[in-house]
Structure 1
Amino acid sequence: MTDSPRWYRSSYSNNGGNCVEIATLGARGVVLVRDSKNPGGPHLSLSREGFGGLVELARHQS
Structure 2
Amino acid sequence: MSDPTFRHWRKSTRSDGGQNCVEVSDAVDGSVMRVRDSKDKTGPVLAFTGEGWAAFIAGAKAGAFDLA
Which TM bucket (shorter chain)?
Answer: 0.7 to 0.9
CA displacement, residues 2-61 of structure 1 (integer Å, 9 cap, x when unaligned): 625410011111162210100011236110000001010011110122112222333411
Stretches of 4+ moved more than 4 A in 1?
none
Q: Aligned residue pairs: how many?
A: 62
Structure in which a larger fraction of residues adopt helix? 1
Which structure is larger by alpha-carbon Rg, 1 or 2? 2
CA RMSD of the aligned region, Å? 2.4
Measured in 1, the distance between the counterparts of 2:55 and 2:30 equals 18
Q: Which of 14, 19, 34 is equivalent to 2:21?
A: 19
Task: Give the fraction of aligned pairs with identical amino acids, expressed as a percent.
Answer: 32
Gaps of 5+ in 2: none
Partner of 1:42: 44
Aligned to 1:37, what secondary structure does the other structure show?
coil
Aligned to 2:29, what secondary structure does the other structure show?
helix
Using the TM superposition, name which of 20-29 and 52-61 deviates more.
52-61
Structure in which a larger fraction of residues adopt strand? 1
- Structure 2 residue 59 is the aligned partner of structure 1 residue 57: yes
Gaps of 5+ in 1: none
Return the letter of the residue paired with 1:17.
Q
TM-score (norm 1): 0.76
